[in-house]
Amino acid sequence: MTTLITGSGLVGTSFAQFAVRRDVRLVFYDVRPHGEYLRRKLPGADVEFVQGDILDLPALLHAMTAHRVDTVVHTAGLVGNKVADAPYTGIRINVMGTINVLEAVRLAGVRRLVHISSLSVYDQRRDPTAPLSEDFPRGEGRLYDNTKAAKELMVEAYQRLYGFEVIVLRLAKLYGLGHFQGGSAGGRLIQTLVECGLRGEVARVPRPLTTDFEYVYAKDVGRAVDIAATIPPSAETCFNIGTGEVLTFDQLTGAIREVVPELEVEILPGPPPAVPMKQPIDCSRARDLLGWEPRYTMDEGFRDYLADLRDAAGEPIHSPKSSRNRSI
């Protein structure tokens, strides 16, 4: 049994940390496989790297057929402003790249696709009091959010046409040890906050990034993806993965200070966040049908994250400063 993971970032490696415990071969397919990062996240694991672009359908198909892939976990793509900064390229990578994955899955006879989506698909311009269940309307109008919705629609259409198994996971904003080269501003921000606190440096945060949001620890997400890759097929194929709690920026930094008390933050002048999250996602379907709930509290997640960062640095880092959030 072989699982191919498109992308070698935080979601894919967090899934792999669970999948390596099973009798499954893992192949990472990425335009830049990030070998050092993979070795750090998966020390001693027997995984393979294939350098390839999701825009290259023949290369994708060859990787799936040559490795006799049974399951694909699709994580590759651009996030947030990386899509809006170069719209044509961003749309091609996110939407056409996903269509290539789907076409390769079809041609290679892959049994199951686990498609990694985001709570960004939800159109929060709608009723701000309605729960964000899996049936909530999609497509908020911003470019990144609409590419996520378009990707899901293509997944649904291919599955209906060709009948392979599909699970879609809509994730809250992840935090955990990553490289964030796909453009996750939120994930990079949290890592910057923790690292600055460890080093005794002031974290200077642009005001637009101080938005309210729902967060989930990457290792909880990795477990959810592993469940999605292995459970028997069911009628429900789309699941929210989060904590059910929206945090303000002050609450987020307060949670980080529980483990890094020295964190000091300066909020740089700028416009307020464009679209703060209004309500949490409803994760009851994942609880009831996947048997998944987050195991890490925010405090436990940040303590585990801190240990991973210290391991990655190779030595303890101490900082002398006390801290508060302040605007300049």
* Cβ atoms of residues 76 and 28 within 8 Å: no
Same domain for 305 and 170:
no
Same domain for 68 and 210:
no
Give the CATH number for residue 160.
Answer: 3.40.50.720
pTM beyond 0.75: yes
44 pLDDT band, cuts 50/70/90, is: confident
Same domain for 107 and 24:
yes
Q: Is 77 left (phi over 0), alpha (psi -120 to 50) or beta?
A: left
288 occurs within a structural domain? no
Residue 279 CA to residue 276 CA, distance in Å, equals 9
Residue 101 CA to residue 255 CA, distance in Å, equals 38
pLDDT averaged over every residue in the chain: 90
The DSSP letter of residue 54 is: T
Same domain for 80 and 65:
yes
Same domain for 184 and 251:
yes
C-alpha distances (whole Å) from 123 to each of 85, 90, 278 are: 21, 20, 11
271 occurs within a structural domain? yes
Q: What is the mean pLDDT of residues 284-311?
A: 94
pLDDT for 7 beyond 80: yes
Same domain for 206 and 74:
no
pLDDT for 328 beyond 60: no
Same domain for 235 and 184:
no
Same domain for 222 and 197:
no
166 occurs within a structural domain? yes
pLDDT for 327 beyond 60: no
290 occurs within a structural domain? no
pLDDT at 322: 37
Helix (H) or strand (E) holding 326: strand 325-327
pLDDT digits (tens, 9 = 90+) for 95-147: 999 999 999 999 999 999 999 999 999 998 887 777 799 999 999 888 999 99
Same domain for 106 and 13:
yes
Residue 285 CA to residue 105 CA, distance in Å, equals 26
Could you tell me what percent of the chain has a pLDDT over 70?
Answer: 94
Task: Burial-class residue 271 by CB neighbours within 10 Å (0-12, 13-18, 19+).
Answer: exposed
Residue 83 CA to residue 93 CA, distance in Å, equals 9
